[in-house]
Amino acid sequence: MQLTEKIKIHPTEEQVDVLWTTSNLCRLTYNFALTERQEAWKNENRRVRYVEQQNKLPEIKEKFPQYKMVYSKVLQGVLKKLDANYKSFFALRKNGDTGARPPKHRGKNYFFTIVYNQSGFKFGDGNVSFSHKVNEVPLSFEIDRGFEKRKVKQVDIYNSDPYKARGDWFISVTYDYEPEVQYHDNGLYQAIDAGVTKMVTAVNSYGKFFEAKTARPDKYWNKKIDTLKSRRDHCKKNSRRWQRFNSNVKKMERKRSNQNKDYQHKLSLKMVKNTKANTIIVGDLKVKKMAKSKKLKGKRKKGLNRSTQNQGFISRFIGFLTYKAKKVGKKVIKIDESYTSKECYVCKKRHDMPLYQRTMSCDCGNVIDRDKNSAINIIERFLSQNALWTGYRFFADNLRQTGLMMGIEFLEPIPG
């Protein structure tokens, strides 16, 4: 598996000049390659491939010597990024996302992320150094994480605010990581239903539930951000007053994002460490589809979409949970969670339940919180799909002991 660590750096003014020069050459390469693809499609109805553009790099360097200042694999990475952006665009359109837009050109004030893949960097003596030929200024930063002992695959240099690079400077290091403990199925399972109101509703093989409410620092920050945006929008764009308000908006948005990430990191670590189950099952939730499907109006609809899509907090939390589980020899498995909150886990009858209805009340006599109902359905669905009869029987017996109802048990197939 691969892990990525983010480290803050503090470049000098001379080093910032080197970074901007490199970034501008990367940006121009990206824009030229994008224009070539657009014109080839417009004039010849032909798609330009990555390899075709990569093979032209030596010719470009001979014609424009300034591109020789940039490490060769950095320019290759720029073309790979453009190719990946196009593939993502086509995949979204193929899946019916009519809102997907093709890659666009980057403006002159945009700081283009500098990617060193496989080579061009060196770790040692608590520093990381990068190759370049812009000038004699060494591009070296203090970093004491012991990366010289790891197999580093890629290092990115970027700014937290790409527009004019007004934010903080960071490098992200991607390296191979081999867990000390390998995954094995110990017969214990934990199902997690991730949601908007409650970040986590989980149930394990012992029939015990765990709930954690969603931390909502966005409620505090959104009011302040909206107030500043309103004042900013009354100013002439790009005036000194407008830029001051806009800078404060960006700072608040970063604080909001960092507080959400911090909570999710802590919660996901707690979920992984405090369970005996080696297998964690989560619902494969599509955030965009979830936002579109909610039949709400006005401020309620706007508030729901803002809390789900803008933060993307559910998919991000599952990502944190996945890599933390791998590090300790556990495994996160995604399964389809369609109708898990609307389907009674006892009799399997589906109910038309609006979002504000938080309790499942079924004709069979089952009355339970809808999130708990969903978590039980997720673990039942996983156990049945994988024919884990012993695991289901163990879970059903433990759930009965909590006083909850249980549906018809699966029957094991007759041997022979």
- Distance (Å, rounded) from C-alpha 359 to C-alpha 57? 62
Residue-level pLDDT at 311:
45
- Distance (Å, rounded) from C-alpha 371 to C-alpha 340? 9
E strands of 163-287, at which residues?
169-176, 189-193, 198-204, 209-213, 279-283
Alpha-carbon torsion (314, 319, 325, 327), positive or negative: negative
Residue-level pLDDT at 328:
92
- Distance (Å, rounded) from C-alpha 31 to C-alpha 158? 18
178 neighbors 328 (Cβ within 8 angstroms): no
In terms of Cα–Cα distance, which of 407, 370, 404, 388 is closest to 277? 388
Q: Which amino acid is at 388?
A: L
Residue-level pLDDT at 346:
87
345 neighbors 407 (Cβ within 8 angstroms): yes
β-strands 331-335, 279-283 pairing: parallel
Q: DSSP of 382-397, one letter per residue?
A: HHHHTT-HHHHHHHHH
Question: DSSP state, 319?
Answer: H
Domain map of the chain by residue range?
2-176, 189-214+255-401
Q: Give me the residues of the chain with pLDDT under 50, please.
A: 288, 291, 309-311, 408-416
Q: What is the CATH number of domain 189-214+255-401?
A: 3.30.420
- Distance (Å, rounded) from C-alpha 131 to C-alpha 71? 6
pTM of the model: 0.79
Residue-level pLDDT at 406:
64
Q: 396 vs 65, 73, 208, 275, 383, CA distance in Å?
A: 71, 56, 12, 19, 11
- Distance (Å, rounded) from C-alpha 346 to C-alpha 261? 36
Residue-level pLDDT at 365:
85
pLDDT by residue (tens digit) across 154-171? 999 999 888 888 889 999
H-helix or E-strand containing 90? helix 72-94
38 neighbors 104 (Cβ within 8 angstroms): no
Residue-level pLDDT at 408:
47
